[in-house]
Amino acid sequence: TATTWTLINENVRCKSTLALGDKEQEEKQAVGGGPTKNEKGINSYWGLEPTKVTKEGGAEWKWTCFRPWEAYKADLSIDLKKHHAPVTLLDKMAYWTVKTLRWPTDLLFQRRYGCRAMMLETVAAVPGMVGGMLLHCKSLRRFEHSGGWIKALLEEAENERMHLMTFMEVAKPRWYERALVFAVQGVFFNAYFLGYIISPKFAHRMVGYLEEEAIHSYTEFIKELDNGSIENVRAPAIAIDYWRLSPDSTLRDVVMVVRADEAHHRDVNHFASDIHYQGRQLREAPAPLGYH
Amino acid sequence: TATTWTLINENVRCKSTLALGDKEQEEKQAVGGGPTKNEKGINSYWGLEPTKVTKEGGAEWKWTCFRPWEAYKADLSIDLKKHHAPVTLLDKMAYWTVKTLRWPTDLLFQRRYGCRAMMLETVAAVPGMVGGMLLHCKSLRRFEHSGGWIKALLEEAENERMHLMTFMEVAKPRWYERALVFAVQGVFFNAYFLGYIISPKFAHRMVGYLEEEAIHSYTEFIKELDNGSIENVRAPAIAIDYWRLSPDSTLRDVVMVVRADEAHHRDVNHFASDIHYQGRQLREAPAPLGYH
Ligand SMILES: [Fe+2]
Ligand SMILES: [Fe+2]
Ligand SMILES: [Fe+2]
Ligand SMILES: [Fe+2]
């Protein structure tokens, strides 16, 4: 699929449109001054003028947290039913850890799937980042190539963060939910970090099962949208640009592509665990890159 | 610059050429068997066939640690002399920290610039990863967009790792050098992690100065190559593919592009520190993406 986007380094004197809201920008410009006075000044000294990015049609790109070339069309044909049957003790531990974690989550959110999705995505974006970071440090320490796994895991983390940015638009977090996310991230980040150091085999298997549960939850979400319990609102603008959805897409379309993403993460993580089960290192098997 | 590369998902029955060396691959195929028996099997179950990537000319892409679309031409026209004059106490602390660290490094490596470059790149790839990871976690906790800074910092880390992969080909590390890297990474990762939490302003400023020193070291490296003290060997194949160098490039060409990379990192980090000096968050100013 050929896509065109344009990158124009704006002249420093042109009015920047991406950096800040127009009004704020005007003020900054009014202040003027030397390199350390305002952003324009810093930019021009360090050569980092805000980049003007346009969409395919020529319309302006509104997002700074991701760029047109990171957008993609989700592969909705992916098999949602695939499952790794837990065989070894480690598999079973990973499976039951996830099943146990599901219990308080169900209790807490019940059928509020929008809120649930938002909250869970703050957790889902942690494993990819931790795994990618640990593999990066290992690659440096051992003077070894990564086989593309650092990138693959960081891309997973990035993708999960985009899920969060999307669901944020649909369900706004309340103060106690924010507090909960703080606490859960503190615990989960450290637990996963330790877990990955002790047994990456276990860590990836667990994420594989987490993704299987995520697929299940998103399927329930779609059912609630279909039976009208949750209003099928219009898709947030960020989701339309990220997954290249048509402009009249709805929340249901968004949940469909997010669910497809989770199925891809499931495959990648079970695959990674399988490689470890063969007694090999991840870098010995090339990572699936750009696998959405 | 228009570039073409092709991605072909090979049929599972085709002989994979990227995964492992041919011989090893043959063996794996000879074993055959179910989903958990060998990589082929895993791949076909999880839908992750090794991707066949070809270069522009149609030749096979030999690297799994990076892909053609990550390669780029370095901007050699960048100003190598730019310097942030330390003004505040924090600036001065960052400046003198770097100057102090330079001292034992000079003593240890003296004029062995190949070895020096290799060793220092194992350290240089840490700050981008730590910063990117901390911003990622913050973005999740606070339900905030990143302004592209997570990606920008992770790209810096990736780029530094590619420097290491390149210099590894020129200077092979000895066992005590490997031991040193282990120790230094352990200390530096944690120190930078803490430093970034306490003061990202300081952390980015320090990296800015580190990059200024790196530019200086690479300039010295080039001098040694020019006066014949270090042999100007042929450029490693990985460097030719990563920076799109001509096939007859030499080590000098590689050091030139690496030095240009460092100048770009210098700009990004001083810019980031300047944003913090204005009392703003990084996410409020869009990150320079794809700034090499
Ligand atoms: Fe997700
Ligand atoms: Fe996921
Ligand atoms: Fe470097
Ligand atoms: Fe650098």
What ipTM goes with this model? Answer: 0.87
CA of B181 vs chain A CAs: smallest distance (Å): 6
Among residues B156, B261, B259, which one has the least CA distance to residue B204? B156
Give residues 39 to 68 of B whose Cβ lies within 8 Å of A. Answer: 39, 42-43, 45-48, 50-51, 63-67
Looking at per-residue pLDDT, the higher value among A136 and A32 belongs to A136
Query: What pLDDT is attached to residue A190?
Result: 97
| Position A60 confidence tier, pLDDT thresholds 50, 70, 90 | confident
Using a CB-CB cut-off of 8 Å, the residues of chain B touching A143 are: 118, 122, 164, 168, 173, 178, 181
Q: Which residue of A has its CA nearest to B161?
A: A140
Please give the helix or strand (H or E) that residue B7 lies within, else none: strand B6-9
Q: In this predicted model, what pLDDT tens digit does every residue of A117-153 receive, in sequence order?
A: 998 999 999 999 999 999 999 999 999 999 999 999 9
Whether residue A36 lies within 8 A of chain B, CB to CB, comes out as: yes
Written as one letter, the residue type at B81 is K
Q: Strand, coil or helix: what is A135? A: helix
B286/A182 touch (CB, cutoff 8 Å), yes or no? no
Helix axes B200-226, B175-198, angle to 10 degrees: 150
CA of A78 vs chain B CAs: smallest distance (Å): 9
| Position B48 confidence tier, pLDDT thresholds 50, 70, 90 | confident
Whether residue A96 lies within 8 A of chain B, CB to CB, comes out as: no
Q: In this predicted model, what pLDDT tens digit does every residue of B98-147 receive, in sequence order?
A: 999 988 888 888 888 888 999 899 999 999 999 999 999 999 999 999 99
Mean pLDDT of B1-7: 41
Q: What is the number of alpha carbons within 13 Å of residue A97 lying toward its C-beta?
A: 20
Please give the helix or strand (H or E) that residue B54 lies within, else none: strand B51-54
The rounded Cα A102 to chain-centroid distance in angstroms is: 20
Written as one letter, the residue type at B6 is T
Q: Which two tokens stand for residue B134?
A: 């901390």
Q: Which of A69, A140, A151 to substitute to test the interface with B, most B CBs within 10 Å?
A: A140
Cα–Cα distance, A65 to A161 (Å, whole number): 10
Whether residue A101 lies within 8 A of chain B, CB to CB, comes out as: no
- Comparing A68-77, A171-180, B38-47, B116-125, which segment has the lowest mean pLDDT? B38-47
Alpha-carbon radius of gyration of chain A: 21
> Which residues are CB-contacts of A6 (< 8 A; sequence separation ≥ 6)?
A53, A54
Q: Is the pLDDT of residue B28 over 60?
A: no
Q: Is the pLDDT of residue B34 over 90?
A: no
Calculate how far, in angstroms, residue A64's C-alpha sits from the geometric centre of ligand 2.
22
Query: What pLDDT is attached to residue A108?
Result: 85
Among residues B39, B83, B179, B240, which one has the least CA distance to residue A141? B179
Q: Is the pLDDT of residue A39 over 70?
A: no
Using a CB-CB cut-off of 8 Å, the residues of chain B touching A154 are: 154
Q: Which residues surround ligand 4, an ion (CB under 5 A)?
A: B 124, 211, 262, 265
Whether residue B136 lies within 8 A of chain A, CB to CB, comes out as: yes
Instruction: Give A201: exposed, middle or buried? Use CB within 10 Å, 0-12, 13-18, 19+.
Output: buried
Query: What pLDDT is attached to residue B67?
Result: 85
Cα–Cα distance, B282 to B274 (Å, whole number): 10
Whether residue B145 lies within 8 A of chain A, CB to CB, comes out as: yes
Nearest ligand, CA B207: 4
Q: Do the beta carbons of residue B65 and residue A147 sit within 8 Å?
A: yes
Whether residue B20 lies within 8 A of chain A, CB to CB, comes out as: yes
CA of A129 vs chain B CAs: smallest distance (Å): 7
Give residues 72 to 91 of A whose Cβ lies within 8 Å of B. Answer: 78-79, 82, 87
User: Whole-number mean pLDDT of chain A?
Assistant: 85
Whether residue A109 lies within 8 A of chain B, CB to CB, comes out as: no
Q: Do the beta carbons of residue B158 and residue B166 sit within 8 Å?
A: no
Pairing of strands B6-9, A51-54: unpaired
Angle formed at CA A120 by CA B280 and CA A108, multiple of 5 degrees: 120
CA of A68 vs chain B CAs: smallest distance (Å): 12
Mean pLDDT of A146-161: 95
Cα–Cα distance, A286 to A152 (Å, whole number): 10
Q: Is the pLDDT of residue B25 over 50?
A: no
For residue A60, report the phi and psi dihedrals to the nearest 5 degrees: -75, 145
A136/B151 touch (CB, cutoff 8 Å), yes or no? no
Angle formed at CA B176 by CA B173 and CA B177, multiple of 5 degrees: 40
Determine if residue B131 is left, alpha or beta; phi over 0 gives left, psi from -120 to 50 gives alpha, anything else beta: alpha
A148/B48 touch (CB, cutoff 8 Å), yes or no? no
- Comparing A37-51, B69-83, B172-186, which segment has the lowest mean pLDDT? A37-51
CA of B249 vs chain A CAs: smallest distance (Å): 22
Q: Which of A64, A181, A197 to substitute to test the interface with B, most B CBs within 10 Å?
A: A64
B271/A48 touch (CB, cutoff 8 Å), yes or no? yes
Using a CB-CB cut-off of 8 Å, the residues of chain A touching B141 are: 122, 178, 181-182, 185
Q: In this predicted model, what pLDDT tens digit does every residue of A164-187 receive, in sequence order?
A: 999 999 988 889 889 999 999 999
Beta bridge partners of A250: A234
Of B63, B139, B164, the CB nearest to A161: B139
C-alpha distances in angstroms, A125 versus A187, B24, B101, B168? 14, 35, 35, 32
Cα–Cα distance, B60 to B52 (Å, whole number): 8
DSSP state of A282: G
CA of B40 vs chain A CAs: smallest distance (Å): 10
Alpha helices (H) in chain B, listed in sequence order = 22-31, 39-46, 89-109, 113-142, 149-170, 175-198, 200-226, 237-242, 251-277
A141/B268 touch (CB, cutoff 8 Å), yes or no? no
Instruction: Give B3: exposed, middle or buried? Use CB within 10 Å, 0-12, 13-18, 19+.
Output: exposed
In our burial notation (b when 16+ CB lie closer than 10 A, e otherwise), range A53-68 reads: bebeeeeebebbbbbb
Give residues 194 to 253 of A whose Cβ lies within 8 Å of B. Answer: none
Using a CB-CB cut-off of 8 Å, the residues of chain A touching B165 are: 145
Written as one letter, the residue type at B204 is H
Calculate how far, in angstroms, residue A265's C-alpha sits from the geometric centre of ligand 4.
32
A165/B145 touch (CB, cutoff 8 Å), yes or no? yes
Q: Is the pLDDT of residue B24 over 60?
A: no
